[in-house]
Amino acid sequence: MSDQPLAVVGPDHGARAHHKFSMSKLNYLDPAVGGCRGYKGRDGTSKAAEDGTELHEKSEEVLRDYLKAARPSVSLAQFAAGRRDWDDDSNNLLHQCFTFLDDHALRKGSRVYIELKARIKRDDGTEINYGHLDLFVMHADMSAMLIDWKFGYAPVIPADRNRQGLGYAAAMFQQFPQVKSIEVIFVQPRLRWVTRFTYHRDQATEMAFRVDQIVQGAIRTQGEDMQRPLLREQLNPGSACEYCCRVGTCPGYLGAYVTAVQRMGALPSLPTTFNLDAIDSPEKAAIARAWVDFLDAAAGPIKERAQEIALNNGGQIEATLPDGQVVKYEMKSRGVNRELGSAAEIAECLKDIVMPAQLLGAAKLGLEKTLEIAAPALLEVNPEVGTKKGAREAILSMLEAHGLVTKPDGKVEFLKRTKVPQTTNTITIE
């Protein structure tokens, strides 16, 4: 590159502010791409999020320094290699980002904006939304690229439907009236996957309007303060629920499973085979993965609801599936025994009463065997305990005090699938 791009430095990645319904939430808030108007993200952070932030910061730092250093003969990837103070995994990911920029974005006369605040406004000047984009590159011919690094393992919605990309691009059209087109690019180095989509100037007004619609939908559903009680019919349970802090109490989320259980016919038929080869693209993989997460999250509430309904239905539930199979579940219960710590720990705990070698075998066999040996031994060592029952209770207390008896006795109730007799002309499933 003979003419260095100009870097316009923005705020640090970690220090940036967020709109209530920020650009990064738009995918989760728009039902048209599987989101939900009631979506509210979880607070706090995770190891994956922290790793992603670190990689963003590192990529920004290196790019800023490269652009300031005015070293036209060296590519960004080469410059980064000379600066490397990161581990192999980060290097693999960052190298892909730097190479992408070398190959596609850093052109003669381009202007590079890092961590730019992207704000969309209505015609009357009021704000619709804002966020901070990773990279905006404006080329000499007034075409631009909007590049977002996604360092996670989960694929993001492709650029042509990605509402975060839509929002940033809408903002950039407003902020840079001279720009004719914007290519939105999501680079996902862990997946070695890049998606790209180009918006044109004549779409700018409609794009801002669509973002406004998404934000207004969220405000109608959640209220300005995001605290309005949610109404089930306004929600769209789906993959966004996985990241929504309301999942435990959400009427839409819980209602979806009740409906699913109550209307068996509306469920997809139960598969008997599974063809992994059908998942043959990153997008299908993302959809399949989102379904697995969704079902994982749904399993608990579905089981609880089924048990509740069974309890009010004489202890059983039954249905005929579309293929004629009869599925039947009955309430069962079983006793739960106290759980013991390891035999060695028990022998150590009771060593003043019984020789460890004498107790080890019994402790392996469970609490009752342990008490059979230890209670008489305690009575011998300490006759003041009085009775065999008293000795058993004393041993139990000692074990409890040492955390070696972990569960109280009790009963658990559960639903068990039962065989349906062959005479009913149905298939029996164990």
Binding mask 340-369 for ligand SF4 (x = CB under 6 A): ------------------------------
- We find the least distance from the C-beta atom of residue 240 to ligand SF4, in angstroms, to be 4
Task: Please work out, in degrees rounded to the nearest 5, the angle formed at the alpha carbon of residue 167 by the alpha carbons of 161 and 172.
Answer: 125
- We find the least distance from the C-beta atom of residue 296 to ligand SF4, in angstroms, to be 14
Between 165 and 238, name the residue whose CB sits nearer to ligand SF4: 238
C-alpha span between 79 and 46 (Å, rounded): 31
Between 38 and 131, name the residue whose CB sits nearer to ligand SF4: 38
List CB contacts of 328: < 8 A, sequence separation 6 or more: 316, 317, 318, 417, 418, 420
C-alpha span between 66 and 5 (Å, rounded): 10
Phi first, then psi: what are they for 299, rounded to 5°? -55, -45
Between 80 and 247, name the residue whose CB sits nearer to ligand SF4: 247
- We find the least distance from the C-beta atom of residue 241 to ligand SF4, in angstroms, to be 3
Between 189 and 238, name the residue whose CB sits nearer to ligand SF4: 238
Size of site (CB under 6 A) for ligand SF4: 14
C-alpha span between 85 and 64 (Å, rounded): 16
Asked if residues 114 and 7 have their Cβ atoms less than 8 Å apart, the reply is yes
Among positions 235-264, residues that touch ligand SF4 (CB under 6 A) are 235, 237, 240-241, 244, 246-247, 250, 252-253
111-121 vs 6-8, strand pairing mode: parallel
6-8 vs 193-200, strand pairing mode: unpaired
Between 244 and 396, name the residue whose CB sits nearer to ligand SF4: 244
Between 10 and 217, name the residue whose CB sits nearer to ligand SF4: 217
Position 285: which residue type?
A: A
Binding mask 386-415 for ligand SF4 (x = CB under 6 A): ------------------------------
The sheet carrying 326-336 orders its strands as: 316-320, 326-336, 410-417
C-alpha span between 357 and 380 (Å, rounded): 18
- We find the least distance from the C-beta atom of residue 25 to ligand SF4, in angstroms, to be 11
- We find the least distance from the C-beta atom of residue 324 to ligand SF4, in angstroms, to be 34
- We find the least distance from the C-beta atom of residue 253 to ligand SF4, in angstroms, to be 4
Between 10 and 252, name the residue whose CB sits nearer to ligand SF4: 252
Position 375: which residue type?
A: A
CA-nearest of 89, 139, 78 to 113 is 139
Between 92 and 249, name the residue whose CB sits nearer to ligand SF4: 249
- We find the least distance from the C-beta atom of residue 38 to ligand SF4, in angstroms, to be 3
Give me the count of residues in the chain: 430
- We find the least distance from the C-beta atom of residue 135 to ligand SF4, in angstroms, to be 30
Among positions 28-87, residues that touch ligand SF4 (CB under 6 A) are 36, 38-39
DSSP for 12-72?
A: -GGG----TT-GGGHHHH-GGGT--TT--BPPS--HHHHHHHHHHHHHHHHHHHHHHHT-T
Neighbours of 35 (CB within 10 A): 24
Between 131 and 252, name the residue whose CB sits nearer to ligand SF4: 252
- We find the least distance from the C-beta atom of residue 386 to ligand SF4, in angstroms, to be 58
- We find the least distance from the C-beta atom of residue 251 to ligand SF4, in angstroms, to be 8
- C-alpha pair distances (Å), 88 with each of 81, 97, 151: 12, 14, 15
Among positions 193-232, residues that touch ligand SF4 (CB under 6 A) are 230
Which residue's structure tokens are 């001279």?
178
Between 158 and 252, name the residue whose CB sits nearer to ligand SF4: 252
Neighbours of 183 (CB within 10 A): 20
Chain positions contacting ligand SF4, by CB under 6 A:
36, 38-39, 230, 235, 237, 240-241, 244, 246-247, 250, 252-253
